[in-house]
Amino acid sequence: LGGQIASALQKMSNVTIIDEKALNECLKEITRALLHSDVSFPLVREMQNNIKKIVNLEELAAGHNKRRIIEQAIFSELCKMLDPGKPAFSPKKAKPSVVMFVGLQGAGKTTTCTKYAYYHQKKGYKPALVCADTFRAGAFDQLKQNATKARIPFYGSYTESDPVKIAVEGVDTFKKENCDLIIVDTSGRHKQEATLFEEMRQVAEATKPDLVIFVMDSSIGQAAFDQAQAFKQSVAVGAVIITKMDGHAKGGGALSAVAATKSPVIFIGTGEHMDEFEVFDVKPFVSRLLGMGDWSGFVDKLQDVVPKDQQPELLEKLSQGNFTLRIMYDQFQNLLNMGPLSEVFSMLPGAAAQMMPKGHEKESQAKIKRYMTMMDSMTNEELDSSNPKMFNESRMMRIARGSGRMVREVMEMLEEYKRLAKMWSKMKGLKIPKNGDMSAL
């Protein structure tokens, strides 16, 4: 998608006369790219109209950066579509909340239930899991296994076949045990059938959930809108979680799910493991969807921050995509030199937004300083390597000793490095003008 939009915008920047026709041509190509990325047709059309309204032809004609103007318009439109305008219910500690998970079989409910519980457990909640899936053989075993691994209390039955009964018993049990986040996993079916929706309705009626989370597999493509709508019509869906974002999913389905349920996406699943779970953040997601990673804004910012004489070198490194620990160190230093870090970091797609959560700038800053202290104990060879595998136990121990930190912390820093490196590698191939003139990007 990023490539297609980029080429449409590129054409636009090459046209000397911008008239309605040229803009329409460009929008048509962008439309095609969005459809290809599984954004549903009505949404694409709505967006197209909105962009036309925002983009002022006169401004375009006079503007030096046509591409940037349209890019910004697309970006802000997509962000708007992902924001239903009201936040999802969020559970309070020490006050029992019931959260019910719904979705088709295979969407990732059971996996996501555990991730959701685990996430909150780490934040100090007392979660518990209830298996109300009596449809699929092995459903209870799966939940039990997950829950045991995460040390989360669970409830279920091998013999009871009434999901409503189990759900109610489970919720009552955990309320008595003062759990503050009681999660009810329900069954799915292969298709959207009446029996599934009836069962969901009954479980919801009996357990009175504070929040119903609709779990959707990101790879279902254009079917997303209808599926999300069908669920919303049967139960009061209040939030969405999109799973399997680690695969080849294009992500456009998230927009459809929000539009159909009028509920926000709260998390995305990025793998099968318990911690492969990210708080959903609109801007980085849209950047990822557009494939632009908001790099243009990021590069602008870098220009402001990085001393002029270092810019060409850094840009060269960026475009090569080889992200060494030394580059990370330099970037950390640059970031510490400027105002609120979150502003810059929030522009990095994906990983970084998590490293620097909003409202936690102070902690993040302390963390970055800690990381830098550890890197100060590294050898040149280590700093210039982009191969984290070289850090064997003895190297990690040396670094820990040298910086007065724990080996565990060194490992954590290397994990962070790996995440940033992965993200950075997406920069590979990005054509950065040698003269450093970003306006042409």
> Which residues in this chain contact ligand GDP in the complex, by CB under 6 A?
103, 105-111, 188, 243-244, 246-247, 269-272
Q: Which stretch binds Mg ion (CB under 5 A): 16-24, 106-114, 233-241, 368-376?
A: 106-114
- Cβ(127)–Cβ(151) under 8 Å? no
**Touching Mg ion, residues 333-372 (CB under 5 A):** none
Dihedral of alpha carbons 141, 145, 150, 152, sign: positive
Print burial letters for 174-209: b (CB count within 10 Å at least 16), e (below 16). Answer: beeeebbbbbbbbbbeeebeeebbebbeebbebbeb
Task: Please say which residue, 140 or 332, places its beta carbon nearer to ligand GDP.
Answer: 140
Count Cα atoms within 13 angstroms, Cβ side, for 42: 9
Question: Per rule CB under 5 A, is residue 110 in the interface with Mg ion?
Answer: yes
Of 53, 91, 441, 117, the closest CA to residue 274 belongs to: 117
Report the partner that residue 271 touches, choosing among ligand GDP, Mg ion, none (CB closer than 5 to 8 A by kind). Answer: ligand GDP
**At residue 92, what is the residue type?**
K
**Beta-carbon neighbour count of residue 365 at 10 Å?**
17
Least Å distance, CB 254 to Mg ion, is 21
User: CB-wise, 267 or 417, nearer to ligand GDP?
Assistant: 267
- Taking CB under 5 A as the binding criterion, the range among 56-64, 110-118, 152-160, 278-286 that sits at the site for Mg ion is 110-118
Stretch that binds Mg ion, among 107-115, 196-204, 273-281, 338-346 (CB under 5 A): 107-115
Minimum separation from the CB atom of position 242 to ligand GDP (A)? 8
CB of 266 to ligand GDP, least distance (A): 14
Please say which residue, 75 or 267, places its beta carbon nearer to ligand GDP. Answer: 267
Residues 6+ apart with CB under 8 A from 217: 103, 104, 106, 107, 108, 242, 243, 244
CB of 185 to Mg ion, least distance (A): 6
| 66, 154 Cβ separation under 8 angstroms | no
Nearest to ligand GDP by Cβ — which residue?
Answer: 269
What contacts 387, CB < 8 A, 6 or more positions away?
Answer: none
Q: Whose Cβ is closer to ligand GDP: residue 91's or residue 108's?
A: 108
**Rounded to the nearest whole angstrom, what is the least distance from the CB of residue 103 to ligand GDP in the complex?**
5
Which residue's beta carbon is nearest to the bound Mg ion? 110
Tell me: does residue 243 bind Mg ion (CB under 5 A). no
**CB nearer to ligand GDP: pick between 115 and 405:** 115
CB-count burial class (<10 Å; 0-12, 13-18, 19+) for 97: buried
Instruction: Give the nearer residue to Mg ion in terms of CB position, either 112 or 346.
Output: 112
Neighbours of 105 (CB within 10 A): 16
Query: Which region, judged by CB under 5 A, interacts with Mg ion, from 103-111, 214-222, 224-232, 265-273?
Result: 103-111
Report the C-alpha gap between 11 and 14 in whole angstroms: 5
CB of 29 to ligand GDP, least distance (A): 31
**Residue 108 CB, nearest approach to ligand GDP (Å):** 3
Which positions from 153 to 172 touch Mg ion by CB under 5 A, shown as an x/- string?
--------------------
Interface with Mg ion, residue 97, by CB under 5 A: no
Largest CA distance in the chain: 73
Could you tell me which residues come within 8 angstroms of residue 110 by beta carbon, excluding any fewer than 6 positions away? 131, 133, 139, 142, 143, 146, 185
Angle, CA 267 vertex, CA 262 and CA 273 arms, to 5°: 145
Binding site for Mg ion (CB under 5 A): 109-110
